[in-house]
Amino acid sequence: QVQLQQSGPGLVKPSQTLSLTCAISGDSVSSNTATWNWIRQSPSRGLEWLGRTFYRSKWYNDYALSVKGRITINPDTSKNHFSLQLNSVTPEDTAVYYCVRAGSYFSFDPWGQGTLVTVSS
Amino acid sequence: QSALTQPPSASGSPGQSVTISCTGTSSDVGGYNYVSWHQQHPGKAPKLMIYEVNKRPSGVPDRFSGSKSGNTASLTVSGLQAEDEADYYCSSYVGNNTCVFGGGTKLTVL
């Protein structure tokens, strides 16, 4: 049974970098069939897919246009986890952030427990 | 990419059936058979209920079914039970290795 455990700060100051980590158990970040995603949810923006990392003989990343240029998702094979970094945050980035595994074509399952990140000074 | 369109609310009595729609365009819902449905109870993470339009993950009751016609996908919940009361979100592959979600539908069991 695959489980995802998120960690990271719940409060980030404007203009700084939001950083979260997702530890994987029951699967490998280097899986040739899974992708590893970050999704956020806020009252104003609803559910929003942010991006993913995955391994298919080499590492790939895909990012949503809405955050491209500010986002980095990295795998860490030594720790079997993946991370999210979102730069230059504003209060609009306040949301619950989820790490999620997916099969091909974005069938999201399972989801991490979620982390509320508030952007405020 | 615009969000997919869902009705904000739906309701039904125990034992009845209810259908929730998810409308997109030929660039997303209509263009690919990669529509998923997620259930979310208050304060909890979403849970995958349907993927690839009409496939159920292991453990999801067969009361939940999915379909698609043109640019609109649908989730039908048959034999409504109290625990089905939740928010439901659709999502779709939209090409260029990205996806989009619907705005969500709050299902009330009367």
User: Per-residue pLDDT averaged across B73-96, rounded?
Assistant: 96
Residue B68: DSSP 8-state: E
Distance between B73 CA and the closest CA of chain A, angstroms? 15
A47 contacts on B by Cβ (under 8 Å): 46, 89, 91, 101, 104
Q: Has residue B64 got a pLDDT over 90?
A: yes
Residue A26: DSSP 8-state: S
Residue of chain A with shortest Cα separation from B98: A64
- Kindly write down the DSSP assignment for every residue of A55-90, as one continuous string: ESSSEEEEE-TTTTTTEEEEEETTTTEEEEEE-S--
Q: What are the tokens at A27? A: 């699967």
pLDDT at B2: 72
Strands A46-55 and A59-63: antiparallel
Place of tokens 């730069």: A87
pLDDT band at residue B1 using 50, 70 and 90 as cut-offs? low
A44 at the B interface (CB within 8 A)? Answer: no
Distance, in Å, from the CA atom of B18 to the CA atom of B37, rounded to the nearest integer, reads 14
Residues of chain A with pLDDT under 70: 104
Contact A47 B51 (CB under 8 A): no
Distance, in Å, from the CA atom of B24 to the CA atom of A50, rounded to the nearest integer, reads 20
pLDDT at A103: 84
A103 at the B interface (CB within 8 A)? Answer: yes
Residue of chain A with shortest Cα separation from B105: A46
Instruction: List pLDDT tens digits, range B10-31.
Output: 999 999 999 999 999 999 999 9
